Chains A and B, each alone.
Chain A
Amino acid sequence: MDTIKLTPASGNFVQTVQEKSRSDLSRCWHCLCCSGGCPFAKDMDFLPNVIIRMVQMGLKEKVLTSSAIWLCVGCNTCSMECPNAVDMAAMMDTLRRMAIEEKVKIAEPAVLSFHQKVIDSISRYGRTHKLEIMMRYKLSEKDFFSDMDLGLRMLSRRKLDLMPSKVKNKQQIQALFKLAEDLS
C-alpha cells in the first residue's frame, strides 16, 4: 500500500478546489451514494467520492492525471444522490480546468480533443458543424475508420449537414467568447 505524506502545504489544494468550484467538500461523509449513482463510475480509475478524499489529502498530481475527471460528463446524477448537497460536478469541472492550466498529462486526451473541436466550431460559425467537427477530430486522433459506416448512414439520412450553418454576426460570437473568458 502507498504511504501518503501529509504536509501543511497539502491543504492548499483542497482550499483552491473548494474556492474555485464553490463546493464544500468537508460535507462529504463518504456514503458512496454519488459513486453508486454515477453511470460512469465503473469506467473510472478512482470513484467520485475517492476523488474528493484525494483532493482533501492534497494528492494533486494523482487527481489531475486521473481518468475519472475526464469521464465525468457533468450529468449531475451525483448531485441528485448526495444527501449533503456536495457539488461534485462543479468540483470535477474545476479539476479539469486545473489539469489544463497546469499542463499535466491528460489521462483522456481524446475527450479533451473532442471538446476543443466543438469549441473551435462554435467560435468559427457561431454554431456546431457536426460533420466538420467529426472530421477534424478523426484527423487529430489519426482514427480514420471507426464509425465510418455510421457517418455514411447519418449522411444518407440527412442527419449530418454537408455545409455549416453560420451565425450572421461573427463579431458578436467572438465578443461572447471574450466575455466568457473575462467572467471565468
Chain B
Amino acid sequence: MIACPGCHLRLGDAKWTLNTNQTKRNKVEKHFGQPFHSDLQLLHFFELLADMSRSGFFKDLPGRLKGLKIASYYGCMLARPPRLNKMPNHYGLIEKTMTALGGDPVQWGFSNTCCGTFLSVSRPLIASNLVNRIMKAAIRSGAECIVTACAMCHLNLEIRCASENRIPVFHFSEILSLARDGKPSREWLNRHLIDPTPVLKARWQV
C-alpha cells in the first residue's frame, strides 16, 4: 500500500519494467537474492479509502467534515506514461472519499494542474505562477480548503502562494484524522504556513 502518488507511479513503472525486461529482472533478483512476484499488487491508499467508503465504514465517524467545502487537488497524480495506461485509474477517488467523510467537494478546473514540483526551487517564478492560478481557481470555486494526496504539492501550494490568494491546504491524512476524532492536533496545525484555524474554527474546537 502506497500513500505518495509519486512513489505509486515509480513503483508501477518498476513493476512494468521487471515484467517486460527479463535481463533487468535477472539483475534485480540477483541483487536482492529473491524472486520477484510478477502479480504483486500496488494499492494506492485512496483506493482502500474508496473501498471503505463504499462499505459504509465512515458513516458513524464522530468527527465528520460537516459539509466542509473541499477542492480536491490531484496535481499530476492522475497522469502517467502511455505504457502504464492499464494501471487502475484514480479519477474521482479524493471526491468520493471526502463525500463519504461528510465533506462537500466542489467542481473546479485546476484539480489536475501540476504544482511545478522542483522548479519551485530552481525557477520559483514559474512555480509561483502555476500555484497562484491553482489557488485563485480554488477560491473562485467557493471551496474553503484544498485537499491533496501529495506532500510535495502541499509544500509548493503553501510556499509559492501570494498572500492575496491564500486558502488553507490539507494533506489528506490531516482530513482523515479530523473526520475520525474531530480534534485537530495543535502541534500539527502549527506546521502550516497558511493558517488553517479560521476554516476549522467554524466547525471544530481549535
Which A residues contact B (CB, under 8 angstroms)? 22, 39-40, 43, 71, 73, 75-77, 79-80, 82, 85-87, 89-90, 108, 110-111, 113-115, 118, 134, 137, 146-147, 150, 153-154, 157-159, 175, 179, 182-183
Contacts and interface: CB of A to CB of B under 8 A. Distances in A.
B88 interface: no
A38 to B, nearest CB: 9
B124 A146 contact: yes
Top 7 closest A-B pairs, CB basis?
A85-B82, A76-B79, A75-B76, A75-B114, A110-B122, A111-B122, A114-B122
Q: Which of B114, B119, B121, B126 has the most CB of A within 10 A?
A: B121
A158 B27 contact: no
A179 B27 contact: yes
A73 B193 contact: no
B27 A182 contact: yes
B186 interface: no
B187 to A, nearest CB: 9
Q: Which of A75, A87, A111, A114 has the most CB of B within 10 A?
A: A75
Nearest to B125: A43
B140 interface: no
B123 interface: yes
Contacts of A82: 82
Interface of B: 9, 24, 27-28, 31, 75-76, 78-83, 85, 112-114, 116-119, 121-124, 126, 130, 155, 159, 190-193
Main secondary structure of the interface of A (DSSP, over half): helix
16 contacts: A39-B116, A40-B119, A73-B116, A73-B117, A75-B79, A75-B117, A76-B79, A77-B114, A79-B81, A87-B83, A90-B81, A111-B118, A113-B122, A137-B121, A150-B159, A159-B191
Contact of A89 (B24, B31, B75, B81): B81
A89 to B, nearest CB: 6
Q: Which of B82, B155, B159 has the most CB of A within 10 A?
A: B82
A71 B83 contact: no
Given A86-B82, A115-B118, A40 B27 contact: no
Given A75-B117, A76-B80, A157-B190, 8 more contacts: A22-B83, A71-B119, A77-B113, A79-B82, A80-B78, A90-B81, A108-B122, A114-B122
Contact of B82 (A87, A159, A183): A87
Nearest to B32: A179
B203 to A, nearest CB: 23
Q: Which of B9, B27, B78, B114 has the most CB of A within 10 A?
A: B114
A157 B192 contact: yes
B44 to A, nearest CB: 16
Contacts of B78: 80
B121 A157 contact: no
Contacts of B24: 183
Given A43-B126, A111-B119, A179 B80 contact: no
A26 to B, nearest CB: 15
A175 B30 CA distance: 12
A159 B193 contact: yes
B196 to A, nearest CB: 12
Contacts of A75: 75-76, 79, 114, 117
Contacts of B114: 39-40, 73, 75, 77
